[in-house]
A and B are shown apart, each in its own frame.
Chain A
Amino acid sequence: GENVEQHPSTLSVQEGDSAVIKCTYSDSASNYFPWYKQELGKGPQLIIDIRSNVGEKKDQRIAVTLNKTAKHFSLHITETQPEDSAVYFCAASEVNDMRFGAGTRLTVKP
């Protein structure tokens, strides 16, 4: 089955700096790669996703890149704000088999 690795496990940045979270996956059949943000006491919320026929996608301060050859994808957050502090999960999906990374706890210091 699919195996997703996510790095780093914790990330601390100053407000206004950029944050980058990286994930690798093992199954070349995976073709959908969502990113979720989880705040304390809440369920994961989708923030951006990318499909295998696209190399990059951007939504305001958030962007995701995908390298299918190398089997890795990354989340980029620019101009970070304190409200970006949360746990972020990457995932790789094929049909009904979505595997998640272990998560990155992002702290944005004011």
Chain B
Amino acid sequence: NAGVTQTPKFQVLKTGQSMTLQCAQDMNHNSMYWYRQDPGMGLRLIYYSASEGTTDKGEVPNGYNVSRLNKREFSLRLESAAPSQTSVYFCASKGTGGNNQPQHFGDGTRLSIL
């Protein structure tokens, strides 16, 4: 049972390059999320998808785009990477049953932008 799988695990980019981070879950969850984690700041929500076919902005969406490809997959795209986007990115998913359900996290993508 893989849970939430993120690829790649590590990536180094140059400023201005583009990249797509991939996320897939095998728990048949409706909701999926992308967070970034920076030192001393906890996790901040970039975008989320409450269900297949919908996406919404979170707390820090600027510089990112997302695609909910199907129920399993939710990708995050950096069109023109900037050094400020150096971070660890986590994908999460949540099942049905209302708000009072935990989010399940992948192991992250560590992204460095030079």
Q: Does chain A have a CB within 8 A of B41?
A: yes
The reply to whether A49 and B41 contact each other, CB–CB distance below 8 Å, is: no
Chain A residues touching B, majority SS: strand
Within B34-85, which residues are at the interface with A (CB < 8 Å)? 40-45, 48, 50, 56, 58-59
B1 at the interface (CB under 8 A from A): no
Chain A nearest Cβ from B39, distance in angstroms: 9
Question: What count of chain B residues pass the 8 Å CB interface test?
Answer: 26
A51-94 at interface with B (beta carbon < 8 Å): 51, 89, 93-94
Pick from B48, B56, B103, B107: contact of A41, CB under 8 Å:
B107
For B100, give the chain A residue with the smallest CB separation. A32
Q: Are A96 and B43 in contact (CB under 8 A)?
A: no
Q: A1–B42 contact, CB under 8 A? A: no
Minimum C-beta distance from A56 to chain B (A): 16
List, in ascending order, chain A residues with CB within 8 A of B31's CB: 96
Which chain B positions have C-beta within 8 A of A110? none
Over the window 20-52 of chain A, the binary record of Cβ atoms lying under 8 Å from chain B Cβ atoms (1 yes, 0 no) is: 000000000001101010000111111001010
B residues 84-108 in Cβ contact with A at 8 Å:
90, 92, 99-108
CB-CB under 8 A from A99, the residues of chain B are 45, 59
A1 touches B43 (CB 8 A): no
Choose among B56, B100, B107 the residue that contacts A96 (Cβ–Cβ < 8 A).
B56
Chain A residues with CB under 8 A of B48? 96
B4 at the interface (CB under 8 A from A): yes
| Cα distance, A41 to B41, chains bound together (Å) | 17
Specify which of A31, A36, A95, A98 lies most central, judged by the most chain B CB atoms within 10 Å of its CB. A98
B40: shortest Cβ distance to chain A, in Å?
6
Least CB distance, B55 to chain A, in whole angstroms: 11
Q: CB within 8 A of B42: which of A32, A42, A93, A102? A: A102
Among all A-B residue pairs, the 8 with the closest Cβ atoms: A43-B105, A100-B42, A46-B102, A100-B43, A32-B100, A102-B42, A43-B107, A44-B105
